[in-house]
Amino acid sequence: MMTNMKPTIKEALKTLGYPVTTDYPESMPSLPSITFYEATNQDANASDDEAAEAYIEFYIQVWGNGTEQIEPLSQGVDELMKGMGFWRTFGTDDLSGEVKRKILRYTIMKEA
C-alpha cells in the first residue's frame, strides 16, 4: 500500500500561518505563501514481496517579495519538516522574476 503523507504535510505547513497549496500557483493569493508536491513515493526494503518502508520525497517552495519574507518562513518550514523526521536534501534560492522563492527538498524513509 502506498504511504500518503500529503494531508499530514499540508496540515503541518498550515500551522505556520500562511497560505499552503499543492499546485504551482498561476497567481499568488498573498505573499508569503507555500506550495509543495510529492516528488517520489517508492517501495523500499522489501521482504516476502512486501515493502517494509517507503522512500518519500517532497519539494516545498516558499514564495515572497524578497529574502526578508522568504528566509524566516523557510526556517520555520525546515524546523517543522525535521521535527517530522524528514532530512533536508536540497535547498536553493530563485531570486529571478518579480516574486522570489526558496526551493527545498525533504526526504524520509517511512514504515509501510
Are the C-beta atoms of 9 and 21 separated by less than 8 Å? no
Q: Among residues of the chain, what percentage have pLDDT more than 70? A: 96
Give the pLDDT band (50/70/90) at residue 6: very high
Q: What's the average model confidence in pLDDT over 5-30?
A: 89
Give the pLDDT band (50/70/90) at residue 45: confident
With 0.85 as the threshold, say if the pTM is over it.
Answer: yes
Q: Is residue 17 a part of any domain in this protein? A: yes
Overall domain count for the chain? 1
pLDDT at 34 over 80: yes
Q: Is residue 85 a part of any domain in this protein? A: yes
Identify the domain containing residue 103 by its residue range: 6-24+34-111
CB proximity list for 17: less than 8 A, separation 6 or greater? none
What CATH number should be reported for the domain holding residue 74?
3.30.2000.10
Q: Is residue 77 a part of any domain in this protein? A: yes
